[in-house]
Amino acid sequence: MKTFFLLLFFLITFALKPEGINGVDQVIGAILDCDTRVGKEERVAMDIAIQDFNMEQNQTFIKLRSKCSQQKPLQAALAARHLISKNKVQLILGPRSWEETSTVAEASEHYDVPILSFADSSPPWAPERWPFLVQAVASTYTQMKAVANIIQSWGWHRANVIYEDTDSAANGISPYLYGALQEVDVQISNLLPLPSFADSSLLQKKLEELKTEQYRVFVVHTSLALATRIFGMAKEMKMMDKGYVWITTDSITSLVHSMNFSLVKKKKRLNPNLKGPHRPCPGPLWRR
């Protein structure tokens, strides 16, 4: 809630038109995936943050208008146009994926409406293409630099990267993860893109290929849904046992609390159980 409150403070102070800040109700829009737990939690957090803000203000009152995208870029673009033309919003929050964000920006570029995106990554050229588009989450490069530093701290010099074959995930890998790993002299042994709806047979085939490799440090940069299937298959293939390390990015880690409990309870906290920092085959990220 605190995050959304600070975000709303930013909106009022910087994003909304100066002539409309004092004494006039403000309408902001949000594009959410209403069918998911994440989208529902975002809506609740926004409602609470707006309520807190309105209680603290005497001259400005914020109203929220939200639309559902169902994780579909076209639906997100239509939602943006509706919020702008029908609800007269002065700013739009969301959505979470770059695919949706780019279509919203494209649909909104002829209107004087800022967009604060929750997408965890965006291409370097995006700010120049759409000056009104602001990434409202932590820098992707900062996150990838942290991943690279974790690998370096254990003295590992190679890692396998598994990512979701979408623009959002690909933008996080290149150039951010590439650059961060190069800075600490870590090489990518295998770069494995997976489709969002990869089935069990494909996951088993791809993980079997990685299992034969000498280096068993894996960086996973996917959606929570795909990561859950990857880890489920990896566990069946005994790739969660001693000798393997799995490092996940924020797109997974920040949503672990919403994972199916039957899967989560099979894992415990990080416990590498290494004999030394330069051991080539590290212990598991998760232990039974």
pLDDT, position 7: 52
Task: Give the domain extent around 178.
Answer: 140-264
* 184 and 217 together in one domain: yes
Residue 177 DSSP SS3: helix
Query: What pTM value is reported for the model?
Result: 0.74
pLDDT, position 10: 52
The verdict on residue 288 lying in a domain is no
Task: Identify whether the C-beta of residue 196 lies closer than 8 Å to the C-beta of residue 165.
Answer: yes
- The answer to whether the bond into 195 is cis (omega within 30° of 0) is no
The verdict on residue 271 lying in a domain is no
- Split into its structural domains, the chain has a count of 2
* 20 and 7 together in one domain: yes
Burial per residue of 235-249, b for 16 or more beta-carbon CB atoms within 10 angstroms, e otherwise: beeebbeeebbbbbb
The verdict on residue 108 lying in a domain is yes
Beta-sheet strands, E only, within the chain: 26-32, 62-68, 92-93, 115-117, 133-135, 158-164, 187-194, 217-221, 245-248
Q: Where does 109-248 have alpha helices with state H?
A: 126-129, 140-153, 167-171, 178-183, 200-211, 224-236
pLDDT, position 56: 78
The CATH number of whichever domain residue 220 belongs to comes to 3.40.50.2300
* 68 and 87 together in one domain: yes
* 101 and 174 together in one domain: no
User: Going residue by residue through the chain (288 aa), what tens digit of pLDDT does each one get?
Assistant: 444 545 555 554 545 554 545 556 789 999 998 888 788 888 888 888 888 878 877 777 888 999 999 889 999 999 999 999 999 998 999 888 888 999 999 998 888 899 988 887 778 788 899 999 988 777 788 889 999 999 999 999 999 999 998 877 777 787 889 999 999 999 999 999 999 999 999 999 999 999 998 889 999 999 888 999 999 999 999 998 888 999 998 888 877 776 665 554 544 433 333 333 334 444 334 433
Q: Which of 135, 157, 178 is the last residue of a domain?
A: 135
Residue with tokens 């085959």: 281
* 125 and 225 together in one domain: no
Alpha-carbon Rg for the chain in angstroms: 21
Burial per residue of 192-224, b for 16 or more beta-carbon CB atoms within 10 angstroms, e otherwise: bbbeeebeeeebbebbeebeeeebbbbbbbbbb
* 153 and 113 together in one domain: no
* 117 and 240 together in one domain: no
pLDDT, position 30: 94
